[in-house]
Homo-oligomer: A and B are copies of this chain.
Amino acid sequence: MSHELLGLGDLDRIIHEPARLLIVTILSTVEKADFLFLQRETKLTKGNLSAHLGKLEEAGYIKIEKTFKGKLPLTICNLTANGRKAFEQYRQRLIQFIDTTSK
């Protein structure tokens, strides 16, 4: 078993964090989600969710659009092309890991 092959060394830490992996996974199925929807689905606190969204945006993995629904603020997120690519690559690494460790 080559440990280079395991590819664990260069796992994307942005996506590796479980809370963010969950967010990204959700976004990968839905192409638009507002803050409160994400909060309900992830069960994260607002503060926590806000921070993770900030990191994902800063990494260029999601786009955050701030608008209004009536008079209330509304934050809408969607995966960018880079985000989708990073997610897919992360999944591939997991698959590779699982595959390598199952023999």
Contact = CB atoms under 8 A, between A and B. Distances in A.
Interface of A: 1, 3, 6, 8-9, 11, 16, 18-19, 21-22, 25-26, 28-29, 41-43, 91, 94-95, 97-98, 101-102
Nearest to A92: B98
Number of copies: 2
A9 to B, nearest CB: 7
Nearest to A22: B8
A42 B91 contact: no
Nearest to A88: B101
Contacts of A94: 94, 97-98
The 5 closest A-B pairs by CB, nearest first: A8-B18, A8-B22, A11-B18, A94-B94, A3-B41
